[in-house]
Chain A
């Protein structure tokens, strides 16, 4: 959602297109990728591959929903990858230690909400930039995880714990979660007072305060919500394979931030949608898979991601300059 989406006096279609420009670009890229790569290698379109693209990366899209809210509010979180690693390990440990399954699912999520609410409180009241607080949190979570587990894998997970592998109505539950949470979060951001206050705080904090919003409370709330989404993402991540590796998934925070930014969330805060970030997460997954099917070495994946972030950010800045 950009300022153009709110400006009156344009046709509905034009308003829609300009409001969701980035989202449409990402969606078209996904379609184009499927058509082109599918034409070159039919196996790209096989059920197993499409299944692995969507179900295997849904947790990234879900984490990107929370990250998008944080970035819309004008902040950032570089510790989300470490947090997801910690959540997965706590969940797995609880599950194999004989606690009820619902405990193994909910306790780690509550933990994630508490950690991020703490981060949000520090950011909101001490005015320490979120990048610094979350850098510190990254060290704490990562170091804590490795020293607590010594890198030992958790296996023999009870089958009823594996929520990501369940398939209600033939579709992996991770995909259900991704779709449902994206819709809920979109509606929440657009139609609730709290959702709109996130845009207001990210756009101009003092103006938001003057308009009667409590920016501190909004920032804490956003980080807590981000914790909720990271928690759900962590549970799905923990239950998608038969073992939990008890490590921080490499580059996860980068992938999540990239998904938000490419999906149209301006890194300067104030604009963006979670539909865009979910589409961007899917686009990445497609690109990663496409590289394999096009026989491009997977070693180049990160360079491609880096180029994509850079191109998107440069385009974002150019668009802002034109808008001025």
Chain B
């Protein structure tokens, strides 16, 4: 596959994003202001971090439906460790993130060791992790975090929201790993043909285990930022986030069958979705109307992708 082909979808997507931005800017004069764009970046970071790991997951031909629940569980544990157990907040944050990462590792273990299809494994843990969050919290929220904690979700560095920096750096790291390293090539190889990858000496199970663990870690990191941004923990946090992440990844040109996809595509997908959400809201479409648009965009994007594949004779 040549570079030109690989970038075709991304190019179309970039043009689409620019068109969407121009249209949205003409619909509302508030859209194309620095304040609004930075604020949208703030809102994008949580889904964004999860989408980066989700890109790896989907490139291997897998899926992770449990990320929203891992986010909720991590958020609840953070609150419980700090408020109920009485740990110092930094320790509570670290410990909660370890638990979230562990939850991702458990997904990987179920998928690799027991050969459970990822869709089913993570559907089960979606229920399990959310259930643990609900059971542990008993629907009570934790508030009253110290002021310094709000930096992660509300602070700025050099005028840019803190989490946008995190998101930017994470995007670069993810793009480098997927595009330039043997690990990235193994990820593509597994998605293209798992059996062939195994026979070529690629450590398929270890690679997948790393990827699902990373997915848990990203969800846990997003949880900390989320809690810091909204200043409270609730057990229903992150519900449905997996759909947003999968939409961004698939919209970004990653094949749901695995083997194909890029981090740049995912980043563009994220920006397009966030721009649509924000722009439509500013032009007076109510919040729930935008969900419809995103559903339509998702199906439309995959439909177009499937037609392209067919024309290529694939």
Interface residue ranges, A against B (CB under 8 Å): 76, 122, 126-129, 131-133, 135-140, 142-147, 251, 254, 257-258, 261, 267-268, 297, 299-307, 309-310, 313-314, 317-318, 321
Please tell me if the beta carbons of B135 and A299 are within 8 angstroms of each other in the complex: yes
Residues of B within 8 A of A144 (CB): 288, 292
Please tell me if the beta carbons of A267 and B138 are within 8 angstroms of each other in the complex: no
Interface residue ranges, B against A (CB under 8 Å): 63, 110, 114-117, 119-121, 123-132, 134-135, 137-139, 243, 246-247, 250, 256-257, 286, 288-296, 298-299, 302-303, 306-307
Residues of A within 8 A of B63 (CB): 131
Question: What separation, in Å, do the CA atoms of A143 and B257 have in the docked complex?
Answer: 27
Question: What separation, in Å, do the CA atoms of A282 and B87 have in the docked complex?
Answer: 43
Residues of B within 8 A of A133 (CB): 299, 302
Q: Looking at the complex, which one of B116, B135, B243 makes contact with A139 (CB distance below 8 Å)?
A: B243
Whole-angstrom distance between the Cβ of A177 and the nearest chain B Cβ: 27
The A interface, classified by DSSP as helix, strand, loop or mixed, is: helix
Q: Looking at the complex, which one of B128, B138, B298 makes contact with A307 (CB distance below 8 Å)?
A: B128
Q: Looking at the complex, which one of B124, B139, B289, B292 makes contact with A310 (CB distance below 8 Å)?
A: B124
Please tell me if the beta carbons of A132 and B125 are within 8 angstroms of each other in the complex: no
Question: What separation, in Å, do the CA atoms of A129 and B131 have in the docked complex?
Answer: 27
Residues of A within 8 A of B294 (CB): 139, 143
Please tell me if the beta carbons of B135 and A146 are within 8 angstroms of each other in the complex: no
Taking CB as reference atom, which chain B residue is nearest A267? B120
Question: What separation, in Å, do the CA atoms of A274 and B286 have in the docked complex?
Answer: 40
Whole-angstrom distance between the Cβ of B111 and the nearest chain A Cβ: 11
Question: What separation, in Å, do the CA atoms of A132 and B293 have in the docked complex?
Answer: 15
Residues of B within 8 A of A313 (CB): 116, 120-121, 124
Q: Looking at the complex, which one of B115, B256, B292 makes contact with A140 (CB distance below 8 Å)?
A: B292
Taking CB as reference atom, which chain A residue is nearest B244? A139
Residues of B within 8 A of A314 (CB): 110, 114, 116
Residues of A within 8 A of B256 (CB): 128-129, 132
Whole-angstrom distance between the Cβ of B71 and the nearest chain A Cβ: 16
Please tell me if the beta carbons of B246 and A305 are within 8 angstroms of each other in the complex: no
Whole-angstrom distance between the Cβ of B163 and the nearest chain A Cβ: 25
Q: Looking at the complex, which one of A140, A261, A299 makes contact with B120 (CB distance below 8 Å)?
A: A261
Question: What separation, in Å, do the CA atoms of A146 and B287 have in the docked complex?
Answer: 9
18 extra interchain contacts, Cβ-Cβ under 8 A, other than A306-B128, A313-B120? A122-B303, A126-B306, A129-B257, A136-B298, A139-B243, A139-B247, A139-B298, A140-B292, A143-B293, A145-B288, A147-B286, A258-B127, A267-B117, A299-B137, A302-B127, A306-B124, A313-B121, A317-B114
